[in-house]
Amino acid sequence: MKGILYKLYERRLLAEVAGRPMPQHLGLIQDGHRRYARTKRLSDLTEGYNLGAAKTEQVLAWCGQLGIRQITLWWLSTENLARDPDDVAAVLNVIEQKLDDWVQGGLTERLGIQIRPIGKLDLLPAHAVKALQRAESATRDFQRVVLNVGVGYGGRQEIVDAVKGYLQDSFARGHSPEDVLGNFSPDAIDKYLYTNGPDPDLIIRTSGEVRLSGFMLWQSAFSEYYFCDVHWPEFRKIDFLRAIRSYQQRQRRFGK
């Protein structure tokens, strides 16, 4: 009975959001893998990461159903790299396996997903970088959805790297310090960001935390936010559709 009611409510939500403006860029802070594993008393925390990766596949399909054109996932932050080495290795192993599965199993082709790794990739082990590059190369020609995959990603580091990129290019062109400072602006920095594309319209964070924790600090200036109490592995389609409905009910002014 509960399953039937859930499906009816899901259909109602889907009908409610259909035909209304959709976020064209969705950011996802996929939080709560380890807490979910502990809550469910799973024998290995890696099980939480695997369940989270499977949930990501579902969410990508939901996004495709609604015509969302760009998605940014946050799988591993620069701060996460300081965790216990075994824990970091477990996360990276799941990421590598899942990316290969998505490409070889046909998910990326079926949904038209182009994968773009973002983050401080030089902080990652060589095998993780190769897996990210394989996925990027294999999906380069797909055009329906752009999927930014944040591994070793931090918003502060992204801003630092963007400013460095701007300065390096400016000095390489022989610009004077006065010109460099005179041309320094938000628009000048934008193209040096990891994402180099439209800013996220909506950012969803799971697991009950009400903060960005450094996610897309530059790009999220005018984003809408939705915070969900459930841990990422148990994120349901009704949670997703509620977030979309909440976004559609807001009046976006972009500071005006």
List all residues 6 or more positions away from 56 whose beta carbon is below 8 Å from its beta carbon. 30, 73, 98
Largest CA-CA distance found in the chain, in angstroms, rounded? 71
Rounded CA separation 69/132 (Å): 20
Confidence of residue 1 (pLDDT cuts 50, 70, 90): low
For residue range 46-58, what is the model confidence (pLDDT) as tens digits?
A: 888 999 999 999 9
Handedness of CA 121, 125, 128, 129 (dihedral sign): positive
pLDDT score at 5? 84
Rounded CA separation 80/118 (Å): 15
pLDDT score at 2? 67
Tokens found for residue 173? 């062109």
Q: What is the mean pLDDT of residues 71-99?
A: 93
Q: What is the mean pLDDT of residues 114-125?
A: 96
For residue range 200-248, what is the model confidence (pLDDT) as tens digits?
A: 999 999 999 999 999 999 999 999 999 999 999 999 999 999 999 999 9
List all residues 6 or more positions away from 8 whose beta carbon is below 8 Å from its beta carbon. none
Confidence (pTM)? 0.94
User: How many CB atoms are closer than 10 A to CB 2?
Assistant: 6
Confidence of residue 254 (pLDDT cuts 50, 70, 90): confident
* Arithmetic mean of pLDDT over the chain: 93
Per-domain boundaries in the chain: 2-248
pLDDT at 143 over 80: yes
User: Annotated active-site positions, please?
Assistant: 31, 80
pLDDT score at 135? 98
Higher pLDDT, 37 or 115: 115
Confidence of residue 63 (pLDDT cuts 50, 70, 90): very high
pLDDT at 38 over 80: yes
Rounded CA separation 105/93 (Å): 17
Q: What is the mean pLDDT of residues 63-73?
A: 97
CATH architecture of 2-248: 3-Layer(aba) Sandwich (3.40)
pLDDT score at 153? 97
Rounded CA separation 232/162 (Å): 30
First to last CA, the chain: 48
Lowest mean pLDDT across 37-46, 114-123, 215-224: 37-46
pLDDT score at 184? 93
Read off the DSSP letter of residue 82.
G
pLDDT at 19 over 90: no
Confidence of residue 33 (pLDDT cuts 50, 70, 90): confident
pLDDT at 116 over 80: yes
**Of the candidates 113, 108, 218, the residue with the CA atom closest to the CA atom of residue 159:** 218
Contact status, residue 32 vs residue 231, Cβ threshold 8 Å: yes
